[in-house]
Structure 1
Amino acid sequence: MSKIKSFDELKNLVSELKPALDMRENHTKENLTKREILVCGGTGCTSADSIKIIENLRSEIKNVGLENSAEVHLTGCFGFCAKGPIVKVFPDNVFYVQVTPNDAKEIVNEHLVNHKVVERLLFEEPSLDHKKVEKHDDMSFYKKQSRVALRNCGHINPENVNEYIGCDGYIALGKCINELAPDEVIAEVKASGLRGRGGAGFPTGIKWESTAQTSPGKKYVVCNADEGDPGAFMDRSILEGDPHSVLEAMAICGYSIGADTGYIYIRAEYPLAIERLKTAIAQAEEAGVLGENILGSNFNFNIELKYGAGAFVCGEGTALINSIEGKRGEPRMKTYSSSKRGLWDKPTCLNNVETFANIPAIINKGASWFTEYGTQDSSGTKVFALGGKISNVGLVEVPMGTTLREIVYEIGGGIPDGRNFKAVQTGGPSGGCIASNNLDTPIDFKSLSSIGSMMGSGGMLVLDDSDCMVDICKFFLEFTVEESCGKCTPCRIGNKRLLEMLENITEGKGTKQDLVDLKELATTIKNTSLCGLGKCAPNPVLSTLNNFYDEYLAHVVDKKCPAGKCQSLLDYVITDACKGCTKCTKVCPAGCITGKVKEKHEIDTTKCLKCGACMDSCKFNAIIKQ
């Protein structure tokens, strides 16, 4: 496209492009001129052949001669990842789930040609006795969501800058450059109450103001896209589905603080996000909304990508800055903030992807609009990666203040397979495990902190009664011990000792004194570690000790795992269902099973290796763990 030379020219272009995008959801069958089919192009769906679905749909549309009345578009993540690949047909607003490339022909012939909905591809709503639901608005998964950061994901083609512009894209940047002074932009961000969505929750406007108030000279804007929490994919989905929103926000930040250079630090394991960012940067520069003399003004802003090698600790701000500079990825002593001395010792404003994604909407709609969402302490919305033992796995964006119960049982659809809820882990490996008695806690920075957890970047892992909390705690400690940079002693050695104690407990070697030592050491590590990784690593230990102490006692006193997860604490027992087929005796590597043919067998638990070979071989389900 040709370079946009002024703000007025941009507004005219928006006016031209906007109606076509609005028509996707707003036009009716009566004024239908063209059907549009949107297909999820996020990592999850592309791994399940959504690109092939797009190719097949286009091929079938051509076969039936509907090229002029139907179009197929790649789009970003719809959020309902458990039901992908997802295909959405406008203007009918029909939402198809778990589509395969082989379904393309039926969708075209039935839906487009014969005007019949393909019933078998519709979502079955559990709350409505598995009734088929056509529209996503009628699904419990979406009903309580409010999309701000994810506003364009699943709606526009992330590889087409015109589609972003048609959704008021770069209008916020043009408004800042042409109508607002830098301090007025910062005042609007401060008034919105937006807090950092990367974990710490520091007020974004104050961070921008602090950087702006430094002496004139070289400054930097840095976007933290090093999303390292296990199971977290919020930032990745935004970059894959709406990369221009982040580019625009970084440019707005650059204008407000006096910076002309930005870096996006993104992990190399996000190839699709990297590819779309490269495309978006090139298109934005060609359009004149990024680079030199943006929209015909004197404001310049350029963005570069820097790749991370997958170190979890590089999600911490100072470690990230070290990595960009080519140094070892480990944190610095925080004797001064990055807003004063950051990248190459220059003032640096560092925010994460989701934080930036909110900025254009705040500038366009106003701070007062943003504060209508959320609570007094935590305004706006928050994106969570909902996973684990939950019916509806996916990305959810809800207003701050929404309760955990609403997310788990209404949006998430509850616990599958008739199991009972046990806990929810928020904040990833640095967060805490929240028990059922705190399910009505509103999700905001203050409330989660008060019950021993944290918002974190937005991972939310649901656990059921088959999960062992000691084992879960050990899992997170294994991760943080592996990811520690080793710079400070409390994290390098202290967390290793915590892990060793947890291993002893799960192997039946723990004592009650270990529980005392666990809490004391975890508290010490939390208070003395150098960076956020070390300070938060003990959170799973402290929260599970506080909320599930009886489960720890069962491990160290009774030498039993109530959930049946810790192999060393389980005994394999042959029940009366045994038919004496002798199959188990033949596969047992320890030779600890005895018995005559057609008679009940016995297991000598003192010799048993607890390998499970006998249970796997028994066709009568006569062997149990207890």
Structure 2
Amino acid sequence: MTTTLTPVLSRTWGAERSWTLDTYRQHGGYDALRTALATDPADLVSMVKDSGLRGRGGAGFPTGLKWSFLPQPDGGPRYLVVNADESEPGTCKDTPLMMASPHLLLEGVIITSFAIGCHHAFIYLRGEELHVYRRLLRAVEEAHEAGYLGKDVLGSGYDLEVTVHAGAGAYICGEETALLDSLEGRRGQPRLKPPFPAVAGLYARPTVVNNVESIASVPSIVADGADWFKAMGTEKSAGYGLFSLSGHVARPGQYEAPLGITLRELLEMAGGMRNGRRLKFWTPGGSSTPLFTDAHLDVPLDYESVGAAGSMLGTRALQLFDETTCVVRAIARWAEFYAHESCGKCTPCREGTYWLKQVLARLEHGHGTREDLDTLLDVCDNILGRSFCALGDAATSTITSGIQLFRDEFEAHIDGGACPFDPAASALFEYTPRSRRTPALTGATAGTAGA
């Protein structure tokens, strides 16, 4: 494995005004689109399938295979939806890509749409990211003016419109069917599957849902070929990807490298841990993946190797924590996030994430018992595989792995009656047993008090 970075997606990020159409075209932008429009759509699907490109949104499902699941054309519309609802703690690769090179994403959208027979594509973005929203809208305007969108794209006879849609800031809308419901104007909640989006997706029509990075990888495959793409990465995890290093690292940021690189190699490029401290624990794929420690520095960061080591590659959001960090506190913060973002549709997730948050808060501040650890594991077991979508599963990952790897630290909170890393913070937290809590106001009393 080489430690050389592979700037493909990030190739133009350092160029002056990299987000403009002029700069993008100066670096070969939209050349791949011309090649694609002169290629049979079925051949484009086969090319992406042969490249080994896997979904870069976390699940790692083969992209070309997903495209091929669409049924035969029946004369009705079919859609491409780009999932840009990047919301998970630590995950921060799609936003800089769209900010620095929105036309790379658009070129991928046009090629993909042409390959699957789509004439209206959607980019679903987090509503809070107003700066990205404006940049994408401007990129769509530029593409229209240059003839890359609209009627008769580049004289090919192919028509395509692209809609950039801003969501309302719900993590659950990162789940593809909840995203589709939100896009249709409904409350964002996961759908029962089957039918899958490839059969009945947006507006009950065949739909492909792909991550931003997946779609942005398509132009380079069309331009340079499937064999070029497969030459990077590993046999089963081909290509390159953005690795987001954040936390206690000297130079945090986006590092684009072949899949299969190790954290040790990435850390060397990033200047090591901040202040020369020791790495204590880290997430290989965001807060929804089981924790790793410094014992996993040499695990190749590809789907199979990370899975064999007990975690998931996910979105390659590498959050690094040094020896000064309380693992119980970090896990408790993640649990608060998942409890807040649960859509409430299914009981295991709705009730389970709430109680995980409560028990972890009690443990963090030194008011827990050893039985609470068993309770946490039992609640996680009742959520895992039993919730409607993957949010419930994600909420359990850091908890079960954290107790497995750092049980002694959990027990130190219990035995010491405080957080060993910050006893003062524990003293500020007043825990009142349920039996001594003030009963909640009744509706009538609450109304009187409010008056």
Q: TM-score, normalised by structure 1?
A: 0.66
Instruction: From 221, 226, 229, give the equivalent of 2:85.
Output: 226
- Indicate the residue corresponding to 1:72 in structure 2: none
Is 1:547–2:405 an aligned residue pair? yes
How many residues align? The count is 427
Instruction: From 463, 467, 472, give the equivalent of 2:325.
Output: 467
Is 1:145–2:145 an aligned residue pair? no
Tell me, in whole angstroms, the C-alpha distance in 2 between the residues paired with 1:450 and 1:274.
38
Report if the CA contact (8 A) 1:426-1:453 is conserved. yes
Secondary structure in 2 aligned to 1:390?
Answer: coil
Is 1:241–2:86 an aligned residue pair? no
- Indicate the residue corresponding to 1:402 in structure 2: 261
Query: 1:286-314 deviations in whole A, cap 9, x for unaligned?
Result: 11111110111111111011111111111
Secondary structure in 2 aligned to 1:340?
Answer: helix
- Indicate the residue corresponding to 2:393 in structure 1: 535
Residue 562 of structure 1 deviates from its aligned partner by 4.1
The change in CA–CA distance for 1:260 and 1:495 in structure 2 (over 3 A counts) is same
- Indicate the residue corresponding to 1:251 in structure 2: 110
- Indicate the residue corresponding to 2:298 in structure 1: 440
Q: Percent identity among equivalent residues? A: 39
Secondary structure in 2 aligned to 1:262?
Answer: strand
Tell me, in whole angstroms, the C-alpha distance in 2 between the residues paired with 1:291 and 1:237.
26
Please list every run of at least 4 consecutive aligned residues from structure 1 whose deviation after the TM superposition is greater than 6 angstroms.
none
Is 1:453–2:322 an aligned residue pair? no
Q: Counterparts of 1:547-586 in structure 2 under 5 Å?
A: 547-559=405-417, 561-564=419-422, 567-568=425-426
- Indicate the residue corresponding to 1:161 in structure 2: 21
The change in CA–CA distance for 1:373 and 1:332 in structure 2 (over 3 A counts) is same
Residue 523 of structure 1 deviates from its aligned partner by 2.3
The change in CA–CA distance for 1:506 and 1:319 in structure 2 (over 3 A counts) is same
Q: Counterparts of 1:186-585 in structure 2 under 5 Å?
A: 186-211=45-70, 213=72, 215-408=74-267, 410-559=268-417, 561-564=419-422, 567-568=425-426
Tell me, in whole angstroms, the C-alpha distance in 1 between the residues paired with 2:88 and 2:189.
17
Report if the CA contact (8 A) 1:223-1:351 is conserved. yes
Tell me, in whole angstroms, the C-alpha distance in 1 between the residues paired with 2:307 and 2:226.
26
Tell me, in whole angstroms, the C-alpha distance in 2 between the residues paired with 1:269 and 1:384.
23
Residue 501 of structure 1 deviates from its aligned partner by 1.4
Tell me, in whole angstroms, the C-alpha distance in 1 between the residues paired with 2:404 and 2:189.
31
Question: What is the root-mean-square deviation in Å for CA atoms of aligned residues?
Answer: 1.9
Tell me, in whole angstroms, the C-alpha distance in 1 between the residues paired with 2:135 and 2:147.
18
Tell me, in whole angstroms, the C-alpha distance in 1 between the residues paired with 2:71 and 2:64.
10
Tell me, in whole angstroms, the C-alpha distance in 2 between the residues paired with 1:212 and 1:171.
29
Higher Cα Rg, which structure:
1
Task: Please list every run of 5 or more consecutive structure 2 residues that lacks an aligned counterpart in the other structure.
Answer: 429-451
Q: TM-score, normalised by structure 2?
A: 0.90
Query: 1:503-538 deviations in whole A, cap 9, x for unaligned?
Result: 121122222222122112212211101112112111
Query: 1:540-585 deviations in whole A, cap 9, x for unaligned?
Result: 1011112112212222344454434683279xxxxxxxxxxxxxxx
Q: Counterparts of 1:600-611 in structure 2 under 5 Å?
A: none
Tell me, in whole angstroms, the C-alpha distance in 1 between the residues paired with 2:115 and 2:417.
60
Residue 366 of structure 1 deviates from its aligned partner by 0.4
Tell me, in whole angstroms, the C-alpha distance in 2 between the residues paired with 1:537 and 1:213.
38
Which one scores higher on RCO, CA 8 angstroms, separation ≥ 6?
2
Tell me, in whole angstroms, the C-alpha distance in 1 between the residues paired with 2:3 and 2:312.
25
Task: Please list every run of 5 or more consecutive structure 1 residues that lacks an aligned counterpart in the other structure.
Answer: 1-141, 571-626
Report if the CA contact (8 A) 1:158-1:276 is conserved. no
